[in-house]
Amino acid sequence: WFASLIVNISIAFMTDMMTQVKADATLFNLMTVGMMALV
């Protein structure tokens, strides 16, 4: 049951991520630019 629980959590997490992709795209881009600036 533990494996299936992890799978269900992963699926739910991925679905939630897909719904937030547009909202997080700007933040992700800013983070990427910030990381590149630090390097």
The answer, yes or no, to whether residue 18 has pLDDT greater than 80, is: no
Give the CA distances from residue 33 to residues 1, 2, 8, in Å, rounded to whole numbers and listed in that order. Answer: 41, 38, 33
Q: Where residue 22 falls among pLDDT bands split at 50, 70, 90? A: low
pTM: 0.40
* pLDDT value of residue 31: 81
| Residue 36 confidence class, pLDDT cut points 50, 70, 90 | confident
Span 10-25, average pLDDT: 74
Instruction: Give the Å distances, CA to CA, from 29 to 13, 15, 21, 33.
Output: 21, 20, 11, 6
- Quote the DSSP letter at residue 2: H
